[in-house]
């Protein structure tokens, strides 16, 4: 995109700023995101939503705006300057809606940039894990009274285990003999874990676990921190939709507690960091304990195992499908990613009893 093109789009939104410069941000993998600086030195995030991934962009943007408005109401007693740093602020267009559709059909939205904030790509100490737990926990707690049924399901069946197994079964029928042979050990694990990995799905379907607003992309880079490394604001709310709390808890634990990168081939480096788990749980339950049921708390550790398994299964399925979804750098990339996640499950499982005990014991200190 040229400066002139971005300026034209930016001017469709309802503000009094004058476009000066822009910088493309590369942290996201789906949308095109730009940091716009104006003549007054105010900064905004200008973002093109990928309508190839998200089929209902107006619904997605309505989700984001509705949740932000809810958070603003819940935190209305904060000073205005602090409130703007704690909650995403979306800028409407001059037509009174929160997205602009250009001549090519692309959807754009604008947010106010939160200045003086930090992000972390990985967690390297317990302090960041604890603050991340508090921040994502607070997001879930503050939205616990929001009617999740009012949200659009922007990616249908995103964490639906039955759906993921169905995709896997189809891939198995169509995969080459060579790839099935390469993945045979992982395929056996998928079958061995099938019953356990449906527990949360079955509880959700039976409505024994509350349907909530969930973020659905709780990697640590979607948490903003202030300069003192204290949690500030949850960002990248494109995947906000109805779900169960174990989705967000589990995905955060999966990414925070892996001692290696997601595609590390040396599996000896892949282990589950129990201390980071405990730090995250401490922060998370400090913020969510009052709004969670006993059943929800009981199954949080299984949420971590389940979300790790879903990623292992998705990588494996894509490998069997000849790598049609995830970008790969070499032929066995998705297979290595899947092996990585299954090794993390193995390490997590060895410490599972201690994870459960810690949750239950820590709960007792909060009530």
Residue 95 CB: number of other CB atoms within 10 A?
10
C-alpha 105, offset from chain centre: 26
In angstroms, rounded to a whole number, what is the distance separating the alpha carbons of residues 346 and 348?
Answer: 5
pTM: 0.92
In angstroms, rounded to a whole number, what is the distance separating the alpha carbons of residues 185 and 13?
Answer: 54
- Whole-number pLDDT of residue 83: 95
3-state class percentages of the chain: helix first, strand second, coil last, to nearest 5: 50, 15, 35
Nearest-10 Cα torsion for 172, 176, 178, 179: -50
Tokens matching residue 255 = 């990414």
- Whole-number pLDDT of residue 28: 54
In angstroms, rounded to a whole number, what is the distance separating the alpha carbons of residues 251 and 204?
Answer: 17
Dihedral class, residue 262 (left if φ above 0, else alpha if ψ from -120 to 50, else beta): alpha
In angstroms, rounded to a whole number, what is the distance separating the alpha carbons of residues 339 and 335?
Answer: 6
- Whole-number pLDDT of residue 73: 96
Tokens matching residue 230 = 């204290």
In angstroms, rounded to a whole number, what is the distance separating the alpha carbons of residues 193 and 198?
Answer: 9
Tokens matching residue 259 = 């001692």
Tokens matching residue 306 = 């389940």
Tokens matching residue 237 = 């709310």
In angstroms, rounded to a whole number, what is the distance separating the alpha carbons of residues 15 and 81?
Answer: 18
What residues in the chain have per-residue pLDDT under 50?
none
3-class SS of residue 101: strand
Asked whether 130 and 230 are in contact (CB, 8 A), the reply is no
Residues in the chain, overall count? 367
Asked whether 184 and 214 are in contact (CB, 8 A), the reply is no
In angstroms, rounded to a whole number, what is the distance separating the alpha carbons of residues 224 and 221?
Answer: 7
Which of 105, 92, 30, 98 lies closest to 58, judged by CA?
98
């Amino acid at each position: 995109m040229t400066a002139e093109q971005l300026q034209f789009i930016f001017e469709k939104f309802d503000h009094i700023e004058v476009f000066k410069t822009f910088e493309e941000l590369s942290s996201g993998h789906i949308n095109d995101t730009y940091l716009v600086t104006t003549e007054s030195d105010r900064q905004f995030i200008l973002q093109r939503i990928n309508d190839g991934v998200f089929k209902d962009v107006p619904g997605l943007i309505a989700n984001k705006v509705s949740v932000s408005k809810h958070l603003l109401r819940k935190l209305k007693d904060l000073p205005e300057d602090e409130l703007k740093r704690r909650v995403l602020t979306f800028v409407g267009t001059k037509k009174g809606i929160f997205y602009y559709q250009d001549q090519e059909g692309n959807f754009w939205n604008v947010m106010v940039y939160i200045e003086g904030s930090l992000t972390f790509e990985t967690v390297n100490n317990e302090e960041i894990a604890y603050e991340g737990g508090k921040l994502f926990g607070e997001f879930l707690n503050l939205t616990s009274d929001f009617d999740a049924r009012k949200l659009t399901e922007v990616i249908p069946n995103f964490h639906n285990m039955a759906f993921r197994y169905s995709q896997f079964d189809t891939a198995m029928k169509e995969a080459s003999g060579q790839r099935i042979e390469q993945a045979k050990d992982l395929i056996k694990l998928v079958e061995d874990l099938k019953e356990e990995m449906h527990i949360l799905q079955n509880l959700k379907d039976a409505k024994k676990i509350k349907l909530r607003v969930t973020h659905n992309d709780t990697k640590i880079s979607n948490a903003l921190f202030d300069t003192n490394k204290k949690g500030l604001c949850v960002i990248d709310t494109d995947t906000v939709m109805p779900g169960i709390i174990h989705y967000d808890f589990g995905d955060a634990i999966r990414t925070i507690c892996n001692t290696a990168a997601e595609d590390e081939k040396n599996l000896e480096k892949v282990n589950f960091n129990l201390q980071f788990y405990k730090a995250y749980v401490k922060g998370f339950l400090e913020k969510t304990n009052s709004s969670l049921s006993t059943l929800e708390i009981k199954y949080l550790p299984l949420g971590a195992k389940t979300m790790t398994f879903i990623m292992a299964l998705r990588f494996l399925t894509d490998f069997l499908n000849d790598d049609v979804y995830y970008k790969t750098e070499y032929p066995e990339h998705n297979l290595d990613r899947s092996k990585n996640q299954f090794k993390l499950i193995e390490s997590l499982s060895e410490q599972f009893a201690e994870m459960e005990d810690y949750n239950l014991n820590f709960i007792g200190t909060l009530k």
